[in-house]
Chain A
């Protein structure tokens, strides 16, 4: 979690807008998302279903859904390379070395009929010819690095012969095989038991520290990011609501949505709440561009203009920003 602020960011997302077009139906998935990750930095993207966090991760990777027309505006650069303008061929040749991804369900992201060593080094062998012996040795090294016991024997096994936690380690080995600059992990531990989750997250942190790559941890669980990421980006209905140092966002959030989200999480410590403070209402339809703030209808401090005027980015503190009219008023009042 040490970032050298002077270096250029390894990942830049600028004012990203993504629409899915299917027939005459348009889904406005992302509406002007911007973020930055520096070398060696870990950021968390937190959001509920419909927040657009997974589409954001896939757009960064350059994955476009098949069978759906996608209209993308804005910019995505990984180590300065434009991911939006790149051809499918370029994306394929960059896959794994520029940005790579760890998925939620390792059982489904790996081919059950192929020995794991081949899948681990796929990102390397896809791009250049590597003698099988060397490739296999590289896979064994990677398995050792991600803490799989008896890596020589396990390299020859099939995905079905691993436990969920061990298989996710295989997924991590595959993701780092070609030394990516940015590693994206989309809910990497959601399918795992809580006792295993911790070890997988420890491993991700270790891998990031050793390689110096940028890490983007995408999750619905705000609790997971504490101690794991330098900064947190909170998303809702395709927009960034709040960005700031993880410890501050998790303890003293500025945005009403983040506040509501934190309050609704049942706790293991402190008094038991007989009635949890739920956030009433539901996500606005994504079939229309959101006017104003997308959280306005559910927000306890909403004003008239929240429904119509898009809230500005308000700097709450150094590196801590909230997109909210109420926060803007507070800042104005304290000036």
Chain B
């Protein structure tokens, strides 16, 4: 992956390898991310899904450089990103940009929409006239009218519009990776659709790789090519979104899917026990889902299931995968092999 001759579309833009993140305060340690690997190419969207505490936002922070990994590495265009690099350095170089959940709160309330979008350009030393043109372009790209909305302050526009301004601002740095952390969760359904459409168009047209973090499987199905399902910091399952959601190989994916209410669709079997997830303060032995899993055996408590091939481009970390997923004796050594196959 290090040779510069590799064609751009083959090299993963972002690679996360064996990532481990812990938070320690006093004597207590939270094992937030445990040995997670995945890779993304330009023009692709990978969704991280899971409940609260699954580690999805922590992975995003590790990618941006806001938290340092305990082990493993984050590679950007094949280059390792040192864990001690400050967030400020990373932000200035602009390779990884983030869109947050609260659209109004993530913009500067005292600056106009135009100025908010222009700020990263100004930081990079883009000349005034070019900056003006670029801001117009960016606002148009996210479907906003630069003339009417440009001069307004974030407080004077709607939540959906503010989120589109955040996207325009993130794109101003021409990032290789766009991270959307619950970017549509705070929006109304009618507005959410507009923002999702914008995000998809941006990934297609700008050839950016999007890491889409969400708890909403229906949204994920609509926006992502690949989905990675996390439970308590462990990667349960990864693969093409449509395949994974149509026929989950991991019991946790199936349970998550069964819990999503849809208008006019009766709820299916919950497919899990009533147990709460285990404490993140205990270093996980075995599968983190075993207490909630209906198919768990002694093996699941004793041994952590390795990620194995579960179909074309699919990996599952389960001793007893669903649907008789094709198991091979050879564990997939990095999830990327499964994703890129």
Q: Known contacts being A195-B51, A198-B270, is A220 close to B188, with CB within 8 Å?
A: yes
Is residue A274 within 8 Å, beta carbon to beta carbon, of the partner chain? yes
Structural contact, A269 and B262, CB atoms closer than 8 A:
yes
Structural contact, B217 and A268, CB atoms closer than 8 A:
yes
Residues facing B in A274-322 (CB within 8 A) are 274-280, 282-283
A280 to B161, CA, bound (A): 11
Is residue B141 within 8 Å, beta carbon to beta carbon, of the partner chain? no
Residues facing A in B34-52 (CB within 8 A) are 51-52
Query: What mask results when residues 200 to 221 of chain A are scored 1 for a CB within 8 Å of chain B, else 0?
Result: 0000000000000000000011
Question: Considering residues A48, A193, A273, which has the most beta carbons from chain B within 10 angstroms of its beta carbon?
Answer: A193
In the complex, the chain A residue whose C-beta lies closest to that of B223 is A266
Which residues of A does B touch, CB under 8 Å? 48-49, 163-166, 193-195, 197-199, 220-227, 247, 250-251, 260-262, 264-269, 272-280, 282-283
Structural contact, B263 and A251, CB atoms closer than 8 A:
yes
Total number of residue pairs linking A and B with CB closer than 8 Å: 117
Least Cβ distance of A182 to chain B in Å?
A: 23
Least Cβ distance of B247 to chain A in Å?
A: 13
Is residue B206 within 8 Å, beta carbon to beta carbon, of the partner chain? no
Structural contact, A276 and B197, CB atoms closer than 8 A:
yes
Q: Known contacts being A266-B218, A278-B190, A278-B191, is A197 close to B259, with CB within 8 Å?
A: yes
> Hey, which chain A residues are within 8 Å of B200, CB to CB?
274-275
Structural contact, B264 and A247, CB atoms closer than 8 A:
yes
Q: Known contacts being A227-B267, A260-B190, A261-B189, is A267 close to B259, with CB within 8 Å?
A: no
Least Cβ distance of A230 to chain B in Å?
A: 16
A279 CB contact (under 8 Å) in B52, B193, B257: B193
Least Cβ distance of A163 to chain B in Å?
A: 6
A261 to B193, CA, bound (A): 10
In the assembled complex, 12 residue pairs joining A and B whose CB atoms fall closer than 8 Å, in A order, are A48-B189, A48-B190, A195-B256, A195-B272, A198-B261, A198-B267, A226-B264, A226-B266, A268-B262, A276-B196, A277-B193, A278-B197
Is residue B112 within 8 Å, beta carbon to beta carbon, of the partner chain? no
A226 to B242, CA, bound (A): 25
B218 CB contact (under 8 Å) in A49, A220, A265, A279: A265
Residues facing A in B50-85 (CB within 8 A) are 51-52
Which residues of B does A touch, CB under 8 Å? 51-52, 158-161, 188-194, 196-197, 200, 215-219, 221-222, 242, 245, 255-257, 259-267, 270, 272, 274, 276
Structural contact, B190 and A279, CB atoms closer than 8 A:
yes
Q: Known contacts being A251-B263, A264-B189, A266-B219, is A195 close to B255, with CB within 8 Å?
A: yes
Structural contact, A269 and B265, CB atoms closer than 8 A:
yes
B263 CB contact (under 8 Å) in A164, A226, A276, A280: A226
Structural contact, B215 and A272, CB atoms closer than 8 A:
no
Structural contact, A224 and B189, CB atoms closer than 8 A:
no
Least Cβ distance of A165 to chain B in Å?
A: 8
> Hey, which chain A residues are within 8 Å of B270, CB to CB?
195, 198
Question: Considering residues B188, B217, B218, B255, which has the most beta carbons from chain A within 10 angstroms of its beta carbon?
Answer: B188
Q: Known contacts being A266-B219, A268-B217, A278-B190, is A194 close to B260, with CB within 8 Å?
A: yes
A194 CB contact (under 8 Å) in B192, B259, B266: B259
A33 to B259, CA, bound (A): 33
> Hey, which chain B residues are within 8 Å of A251, CB to CB?
263-264
**Secondary structure type dominating chain A contacts:** loop
**7 tightest CB-CB pairs across the interface, nearest first?**
A278-B193, A279-B190, A276-B193, A48-B188, A193-B51, A250-B263, A266-B222
> Hey, which chain B residues are within 8 Å of A272, CB to CB?
221-222, 242
Structural contact, B190 and A226, CB atoms closer than 8 A:
no
Least Cβ distance of A284 to chain B in Å?
A: 12
In the complex, the chain A residue whose C-beta lies closest to that of B261 is A223
Q: Known contacts being A227-B267, A276-B197, is A264 close to B192, with CB within 8 Å?
A: yes
Structural contact, A198 and B188, CB atoms closer than 8 A:
no
B274 CB contact (under 8 Å) in A199, A222, A247, A260: A199
Least Cβ distance of B195 to chain A in Å?
A: 9
> Hey, which chain A residues are within 8 Å of B192, CB to CB?
264, 266
In the complex, the chain B residue whose C-beta lies closest to that of A50 is B188
Q: Known contacts being A194-B256, A222-B263, A274-B200, is A282 close to B189, with CB within 8 Å?
A: no
Structural contact, A198 and B221, CB atoms closer than 8 A:
no
New contact pairs (14) apart from A224-B261, A275-B200, CB-CB < 8 Å: A48-B189, A194-B217, A195-B272, A197-B259, A198-B267, A222-B189, A223-B261, A226-B262, A226-B264, A264-B189, A266-B219, A267-B262, A276-B193, A278-B193
Least Cβ distance of B187 to chain A in Å?
A: 9
A227 to B274, CA, bound (A): 21
In the complex, the chain A residue whose C-beta lies closest to that of B217 is A268
A261 to B267, CA, bound (A): 20
A102 to B319, CA, bound (A): 41
